[in-house]
Amino acid sequence: KKVRDILDAGGLKDTVILVSGGINEDVLQQMMRDRAPIDGFGIGVNLAASIDAPSLDCAYKLQDYRGTPKRKLSEGKQTWPGRKQVWRSYGNDGRMSGDVLTAEGDSQPGEALIVEVMRGGKRVGPAPALTEIRARAQADLARLPEPLRQLQQGDDYPVAVADPLKALAAEADKQTKR
């Protein structure tokens, strides 16, 4: 109701309000009972899967639109804008020691994790064989630090954000505020 009031006060009476995220029949019924000024619902995983069946809830977050970096700024849900790369470092023991998240094209020490597999809707090379995928997954699991292979939460895995990506975020924020 607050959002509708703000939109209406700003002269945006025709703006459609859609809600999503954790919507199920109980939430939907309560919103209808409360006569919430909502035009539509994005029900997602609760519509497609039984509550007692395993499911994966995910959301698409736009990061780049026609070459212009974009980011989500909602409190607690901020994203890093633009195309990115992740560089992984390994310790002397061969185990993963940390990642650096940066803008695409920025080089950092370590192994680049994001590789192009599609271009223009077409594969750029053959898909790896299942045996190759399995071997890579097993090798990566073996290189995880021991605390990250436990059932209980251990130490946090270090992930740093590189300065070029921070600068891109600041620029995207300036564009948003214009």
**Confidence check: pLDDT of 23 > 90:** no
Q: Which of 60, 27, 23, 19 is nearest to 45 (CA)?
A: 23
Most distant CA pair in the chain, distance: 62
Q: What is the pLDDT of residue 57?
A: 66
List, in order, residues 6 or more apart from 16 with CB less than 8 Å away.
39, 40
Q: What pTM was computed for the model?
A: 0.69
Please state the domain extents for the chain. Answer: 2-48, 82-177
List, in order, residues 6 or more apart from 82 with CB less than 8 Å away.
63, 64, 69, 70, 103, 104, 165, 168, 172
- Confidence band for 119, pLDDT divided at 50, 70 and 90: very high
Q: Give the position of tokens 């954000």.
A: 161
Compute the mean pLDDT over every residue in the chain, rounded to the nearest whole number: 89
Rounded to an integer, what distance in angstroms lies between the CA atom of residue 20 and that of residue 35?
17
Q: What is the pLDDT of residue 167?
A: 96
Q: What is the pLDDT of residue 50?
A: 65
